[in-house]
Chains A and B, each alone.
Chain A
Amino acid sequence: MSLEAFNNRNVNEGDYFLVDIEDYPTDGWGKFKRVVKRTFKGELFVGLWVVLREMIKFDIHTVQYPEEKMPIGPRYRAVHEMKRLWESDAERCIGCGLCEKICISNCIRIDTRIDENSRKEVSEYSINLGRCIYCGYCAEVCPELAITHGGEYENASDQREHFIMYEDMLTPIDKMKAGAQLEFEGFGSITPHEDERVKKTPLAY
């Protein structure tokens, strides 16, 4: 293969063109002329007219935050949520610790223990929202679709370290009972036609 195309490092050639810009004034007289020209051109009033026109039209697009909020897309990645199982209302998180492992800003910590029924149980879980970069890896890696991102983006804090605990993220049981838990649709969630893509294994019973 000829390396000619790589050897030509002159990026100015080809599709590039120079924009026609007036030269900058260099002397005092030239600068004075530019100031006078800009001052009396009336460009200011063009802008003022646009504002006035829009004002009297009463067709205003400004969102009245915080009274009014934009709807958030289902794939938006804001503060995390912990989901419950639809079947039993039990917590989905099994304490596997993959979110802790994959977290690139090291903001997740998880403590687990053995519970009375000899099952693995999450005893404590924290995310340092001050460190979190909301990359979504935790939600993507979660095998149980337990940790997801929610729409709650208002997490301003008066200090850098700002923790959110397991209980705060977990879907409240009354919300769950009301069937109001929303599924996350971003990375890591089930894609359409998932059933067709799964290879079935033989079962003897």
Chain B
Amino acid sequence: MSKTVTINIDGKEIQTQEGEYILNAARANDIFIPAICYLTRCSPTLACRICLVEADGKQVYACNAKAKDGMNITTTTPNIEKERRAIMEVYDVNHPLQCGVCDQSGECELQNYTLEIGVDSQSYAVKDVARVAKDWGHLHYDPGLCIVCERCVTACKDMIGDNSLKTVPRGADALDAEYKASMPKDAYAMWNKLNKSVIGLTSGEEMLDCTSCGECAAVCPVGALVDTHFMYTTNAWELEKIPATCGHCSAGCQITYEKKHASIDNPQEKLYRVTNEWNYVSLCGAGRYGFDYQNSDVTKDEEAFNKAVEAFKKADTIKFTSTITNEEALILEKLKEKFGYKLVNDEARAFQNFLNDYSSVSGTRLYGSDLKETMAANFIVSVGSALKSDNPNARYSLNNSLTINKGAGLYFHPVSDPVINGLSKNILSVTHKPLQEEAVMYLLLDLFADKEKLPKETVDYLASFHSTKKVTITETIKEKVVEKVIEKKVNEETGEEQEVEVEKTKMVPKKVSKEVEIDDNALLGMVGAPENFNETLEKFLKKKDDFALIVGPDFYNHPNATNLAKLVALVEKYAGFKVVMIPALTNTLGVSLINELSDSEGEYVIGYNTKGDFTLSALGDGDLDMPAMNQQEGTLTSINKQVNPTNAAMSYGGYELNDIANALGLEAELTINYTKELPTAKGFQEVDFDDLEDYYTNAGEEIRGYKLKNMGRRVSSEPKVEKIDETLALDGETIIYLANPVRQFSDFTNKTTNLDEVSGLYMSEEFLASSEFNEGDSVRIKTQNGELVTKIVSDNKIAGAIALLPTFDSKLNSEALFSGYRFTSASIERV
């Protein structure tokens, strides 16, 4: 794509990609250029101007100047030093000396750069204005401490896509006029802008209403934006940092748990917050705020343990969820081999089948792409996923591609999503009916696939949707009209006024109706595409060369999942899409690779984090306690096909699965002894857990665990796909969908103190307004599989007439209402 160029920074020859920002190239090669407002992966903000460098004799900003071959760059000149010093002095103007109580507690970039540049005196002053601290719910904003670097705004816009923050007027006095002449140029320009703005909410309301990821507080270089739950509770240096992998969803984000003792009275350890390498990984609200789900105060209960061992001897089935490590999955698999248990995990089973069907056409065991490649693409299609809640990182990738790569996207889903629609004007939501996913996949084949390579049968089938129809269109055309106008002119010779007839041509718009033959694509009607779909798509596809497809969990339990899997493979193979599939839970991918799963349960079931005749639970409500994900070490397989190591943040005093396995005759001192035994035939590597690394380099390269090998598989040359099953439809007026609100994934997120979403039946505001129900009403939801009673919750993050039923509260037992597929028709009545 882009070619490698050589540039020279301060006499050091470095290799970089053409068009890479100088700042990134320097950072990747350990050359220091000061920069405050720039965020890797986001667009340059140009607020701080401190990254000034001299490139080929000209002063440029390193964060937005692109590298060209043979460029000669000097990072400091006397003039640049003067600018930098002035900029740092300006940042210190009216900045309160509250370092003692500031939550940044020394991890402050303002402090660092002030000392780095060596600011020991102040030459500038301006009258301060009252800047009142604001409580925005889960965030606290103190404009007094804010240096308006706009990193929060940039992160929210370019990474997250909520666009919740913007700069608002400060209402300050203008700068002293003499500064303009006396100050360094860039420092003055930067101050002039700084002095006019503070950060405010885009909505203009008092409270923040966003998807609450907290990324803005994470990127804040000073203590202006902080998490309310963390505010003034501890100093940063007190906290012990534990690198780990987030255990809530399949994104497998690298996080750092930070802990210390709870208080003077209570010496027990407590998690205070989660931090992240925000330049390279962005967290969602669950990852950032849902950290205290550990199973605490557990001791070795020998009686319960013996009962558990007895139960394992008696049992013939182990039922489990995918919120387990690869090692635990391997222990279960080994127990299965030894005692012939049936391993039951419906959701991983569905994914396993789906991958299997997919590989029968694609020839690879795993989907070909990952979220990083998706982020680099410039045309992204998402199908079958409530993207913002199924995998927030997939949504960030989509948003980042839309904003940074000037990309475009299509979002096919039955539930209309205002958050996705708000990402950019270059995303088109197509709200299709449930069970129409096959039509969507055929539409993608029809629009993008190389028809010459596609199997003939499929081409013919696609052609059958096309027909020509005559439509009358009214066009506005411009017509040339010649008019005769009488003008008064002064005769130059005589000086008299004369009337002269002049011919003038004018273009006059005129409406014309005409009949044209157009191609009518029946597939568009089937998926409920808007009328201007073709024109919009044509506009979207300009200058696009990198296509990605995100496939979501709606597919895996679809009645025709097999066919969908094959269609996904066809789209990948013949339409040149990079495909990524969202595993439904944390380690669904790992489980589906490691375990041989059964479809049906036996007579005596051991449940691991799910109900069984004997229940092992990390939630503390079972017959024997297990450690939660933040109390375990092990590896997790992420959506990026990466095997990520995670460490135990909190101590755990009870028994673990490995102890039971040892009692049953397996031999391993620690659970992580199984890391190197993970099946290499499935793409895992034979590596010791302690040899797995976990960090990001300065160049942004992720050195974490290892990547799964995508194993090949022999396939038949002519892939066979079924036609769209047009008999499938959900009857009934009301349709409910099994999906969680943002920030909630499972009982573990539900257990945490900072995530306070209430469970219930989520209805969009428009649905509520047009129905007889009100928020808070108790309703009985009936489907053909059962019924339950819950309360109605109004949700402004969805639109349309499909209600959402969450899975994060197992007390609700919402899954029992569905027969696999995430949509079902239901009746709702007030009780």
Contact = CB atoms under 8 A, between A and B. Distances in A.
B266 to A, nearest CB: 10
B280 to A, nearest CB: 30
A114 B142 CA distance: 14
Nearest to B120: A199
Interface of B: 99-101, 105, 120-128, 133, 135, 140, 173, 176, 231-235, 237-238, 263-265
Contacts of B122: 201-202
Contacts, number: 64
A86 B126 CA distance: 31
B231 A95 contact: no
A96 B125 contact: no
Given A96-B100, A101-B238, 7 more contacts: A96-B99, A97-B235, A101-B235, A114-B231, A120-B232, A144-B100, A201-B125
With most chain A CB atoms within 10 A of its CB, the pick from B122, B126, B264 is: B264
A124 B100 contact: no
A112 B235 CA distance: 9
B232 A114 contact: yes
B123 A202 contact: yes
A101 B101 contact: no
Contacts of A203: 125
Contacts of A144: 100
A144 B99 CA distance: 12
Question: Which A-B residue pairs are the 3 nearest by beta carbons?
Answer: A96-B100, A201-B122, A202-B125
Nearest to B94: A204
Nearest to A115: B232
Given A95-B101, A95-B232, A124 B127 contact: no
A110 B232 CA distance: 12
A201 B121 contact: yes
A171 interface: no
A113 interface: yes
A118 interface: yes
Nearest to A144: B100
Contacts of A152: none
Contact of A112 (B99, B127, B232): B232
* Secondary structure type dominating chain B contacts: loop
A100 B239 CA distance: 13
Contacts of B231: 114
A160 to B, nearest CB: 17
29 contacts: A94-B101, A95-B101, A96-B99, A96-B101, A96-B235, A97-B105, A98-B100, A100-B238, A110-B264, A113-B233, A114-B232, A114-B233, A118-B133, A118-B135, A118-B140, A119-B101, A121-B232, A124-B263, A125-B264, A126-B264, A143-B100, A201-B125, A202-B124, A203-B125, A204-B127, A204-B128, A204-B176, A205-B127, A205-B128
Contacts of A120: 101, 232
A109 B176 CA distance: 47
B269 to A, nearest CB: 14
Nearest to A124: B264
Contacts of A118: 133, 135, 140
Contacts of A111: 263-264
Contacts of A110: 264
Name the interface size band of chain A: 20 to 34
A180 to B, nearest CB: 27
A161 to B, nearest CB: 13
Contacts of A202: 122-125
Given A109-B264, A124-B264, A204 B100 contact: no
A136 B352 CA distance: 65
Nearest to A98: B100
Interface in A91-106: 94-98, 100-101
Interface string A140-182: 0001100000000000000000000000000000000000000
Nearest to B101: A120
A205 B135 CA distance: 29
A130 to B, nearest CB: 15
A96 B124 CA distance: 29
A94 B101 CA distance: 7
B100 A112 contact: no
Contacts of A119: 101
A204 B126 contact: yes
B237 A101 contact: yes
Contacts of B127: 204-205
A144 B100 CA distance: 9
With most chain B CB atoms within 10 A of its CB, the pick from A100, A126, A144, A201 is: A201
A205 B125 CA distance: 9
Nearest to B231: A114
B125 A204 contact: yes
A94 B99 CA distance: 10
Contact of B233 (A101, A112, A125): A112
A94 B124 contact: no
Interface in A183-198: none
Nearest to A201: B122
A118 B235 CA distance: 17
With most chain A CB atoms within 10 A of its CB, the pick from B100, B125, B173 is: B100
Contacts of B126: 204
B757 to A, nearest CB: 23
A203 B101 CA distance: 24
Contact of A124 (B234, B237, B265): B265
A163 to B, nearest CB: 9
A97 B264 CA distance: 13
A97 B234 CA distance: 8
Nearest to A118: B133
B238 A97 contact: yes
Nearest to B121: A199
Contacts of B140: 118
Given A96-B101, A204-B126, A113 B232 contact: yes
With most chain B CB atoms within 10 A of its CB, the pick from A114, A119, A126 is: A114
A15 to B, nearest CB: 48
Contacts of A113: 232-233
A8 B263 CA distance: 59
A203 B122 CA distance: 10
A112 B105 CA distance: 13
Contacts of B234: 97, 112
A44 B99 CA distance: 68
Contacts of B105: 97
A135 B101 CA distance: 25
A96 B102 CA distance: 8
A100 B238 CA distance: 9
Contacts of B235: 96-97, 100-101
Interface in A9-45: none
A199 B123 CA distance: 11
With most chain A CB atoms within 10 A of its CB, the pick from B101, B121, B128, B265 is: B101
A97 B123 CA distance: 32
A111 B264 CA distance: 7
Contacts of B125: 201-204
Contacts of A125: 264
Nearest to B106: A101
A96 B236 CA distance: 11
B641 to A, nearest CB: 43
A96 B123 CA distance: 29
Contacts of A95: 100-101, 232
A199 B135 CA distance: 36
Nearest to A125: B264
Nearest to B99: A96
B350 to A, nearest CB: 46
A91 to B, nearest CB: 13
A96 B265 CA distance: 19
A204 B120 CA distance: 19
A177 B124 CA distance: 41
A186 B105 CA distance: 27
A105 B123 CA distance: 42
A125 B263 CA distance: 10
Contacts of B264: 109-111, 124-126
Nearest to B123: A202
A72 B133 CA distance: 46
A109 B235 CA distance: 12
A100 B122 CA distance: 32
